C-alpha cells in the first residue's frame, strides 16, 4: 500500500504564485539586489515603497523613483514604516547591515508581516527564485536558498528548450477561455466542469503554434463547437472562418480588366 503513494520529501518550500497586485510592499535598500526585487514587484502590479537614503539608490532604482513607479522615503528604516495603519503586505530588505536587517525581521515577525531578508535564508518567510517570463508564462526555479546562480543556469536551460511564441500561445488560450465563459456564463459546478473539460481537450489536441495563430474569428468558430462537445482541428477551424469571411465580402466590379474589393 505505501508504494502506491508519492513519498514525502521534506526540506522543500511551498512554491505558489502570490497575487500581490495593488498591495503595499516595503523595500528597504536601493542597490542592485533591491532593484531586482523592485522590478519583480512592479511586474506583479504591487504598490512599492522604497525606504533608503538617496545616496544609496543605484541608477535603476533612482530611475524608478523619477518615473514615479515607486514611492521613495529618503531615510533609513523606522518601525513606523510597518505600523498596522500602513497595511504592509510584505517586506523585503537588501541592505549591507546584518544587525539592522535582523531588527527589521523581528519587527515583521511581531506584526506577522511576511519578510525576505536578502542573503539570510533563516530570516526569510519566502524565497525569490530565478524566473523566466514570456507574457503570461512564468517559470520559477528555486534552490531554497542554497544556490541562486545554479538556479539561474537551470532557468536559462529550460527557457532555451521552450518553443518560440509559447507565451503568445498561452495568452490566446486565456482569451479563448474568457470568450467561452462569456458565451456559456453558467456558474454551477456542472457548467464549470464542462468548460474545463472542453478547454483541456483543446489544449491536448492542438499544437501550441496553432493556438498562437488563432484570431477573433477563429475563436468564435471554435467556441461555437462547445455545445456539441466537439473539438475540430485547427485546419477545419481556419477553413470555416475563412469561408465565412469570404461570404461576407462585397465584390464591386466596374467592367474594367481589373477589379476591386
Residues 88 and 102 in one domain: yes
Whether 119 is a known active-site residue: answer yes
Is 90 a member of any domain? Answer: yes
Spatial CA neighbour of 107 closest among 135, 128, 132, 86: 86
pLDDT at 1: 56
Q: Could you read off the pLDDT of 7-40 as tens digits, one per residue?
A: 898 988 888 889 999 999 999 999 999 999 999 9
Residues 147 and 118 in one domain: no
Q: Cell 466596374 appears where?
A: 254
pLDDT at 259: 44
143: domain CATH number is 3.30.160
- Which of 110, 143, 162 is where one domain is finished? 162
90: domain CATH number is 3.40.50.720
Determine the Cα–Cα distance for residues 193 and 187; give it in Å rounded to an integer: 10
Beta strands 88-93; 115-117: pairing state: parallel
Q: Burial, 53: exposed, middle or buried (Cβ in 10 Å; 0-12, 13-18, 19+)?
A: exposed
Residues 173 and 231 in one domain: yes
pLDDT band for 175, please (50, 70, 90 cuts): very high
Q: 104 lies in which domain range?
A: 24-128
Residues 38 and 101 in one domain: yes
Q: Could you read off the pLDDT of 72-129 as tens digits, one per residue?
A: 999 999 999 999 999 999 999 999 999 999 999 999 999 999 999 998 888 999 988 8
For residues 150-164, average pLDDT: 93
Q: Quick one: how far is CA 58 from the chain centroid?
A: 26
Catalytic residue chosen out of the listed positions 74, 97, 119, 125: 119
Residues 183 and 205 in one domain: yes
Amino acid at each position: 500500500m505505501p508504494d502506491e503513494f508519492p513519498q514525502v520529501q521534506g526540506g522543500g518550500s511551498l512554491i505558489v504564485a502570490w497575487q500581490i497586485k495593488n498591495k503595499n510592499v516595503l523595500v528597504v535598500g536601493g542597490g542592485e539586489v533591491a532593484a531586482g526585487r523592485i522590478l519583480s514587484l512592479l511586474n506583479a502590479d504591487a504598490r512599492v515603497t522604497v525606504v533608503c537614503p538617496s545616496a544609496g539608490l543605484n541608477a535603476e532604482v533612482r530611475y524608478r523613483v523619477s518615473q514615479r513607479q515607486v514611492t521613495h522615503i529618503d531615510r533609513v528604516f523606522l518601525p513606523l514604516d510597518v505600523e498596522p495603519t500602513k497595511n504592509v503586505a510584505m517586506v523585503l530588505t537588501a541592505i549591507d547591515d546584518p544587525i539592522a536587517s535582523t531588527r527589521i525581521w523581528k519587527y515583521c515577525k511581531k506584526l506577522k508581516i511576511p519578510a525576505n531578508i536578502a542573503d539570510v535564508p533563516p530570516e526569510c518567510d519566502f524565497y525569490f527564485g530565478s524566473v523566466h517570463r514570456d507574457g503570461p508564462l512564468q517559470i520559477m526555479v528555486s534552490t531554497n536558498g542554497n544556490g541562486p546562480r545554479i538556479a539561474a543556469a537551470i532557468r536559462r536551460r529550460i527557457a532555451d528548450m521552450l518553443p518560440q511564441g509559447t507565451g503568445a500561445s498561452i495568452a490566446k488560450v486565456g482569451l479563448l477561455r474568457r470568450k467561452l465563459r462569456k458565451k456559456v456564463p453558467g456558474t454551477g459546478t456542472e457548467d464549470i466542469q464542462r468548460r474545463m473539460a472542453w478547454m483541456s481537450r483543446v489544449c491536448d489536441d492542438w499544437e501550441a503554434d496553432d493556438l498562437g495563430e488563432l484570431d477573433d474569428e477563429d475563436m468564435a468558430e471554435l467556441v461555437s463547437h462547445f455545445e456539441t462537445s466537439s473539438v475540430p482541428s485547427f485546419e477545419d477551424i481556419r477553413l470555416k472562418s475563412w469561408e465565412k469571411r469570404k461570404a461576407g465580402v462585397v465584390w464591386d466590379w466596374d467592367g474594367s480588366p481589373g477589379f476591386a474589393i
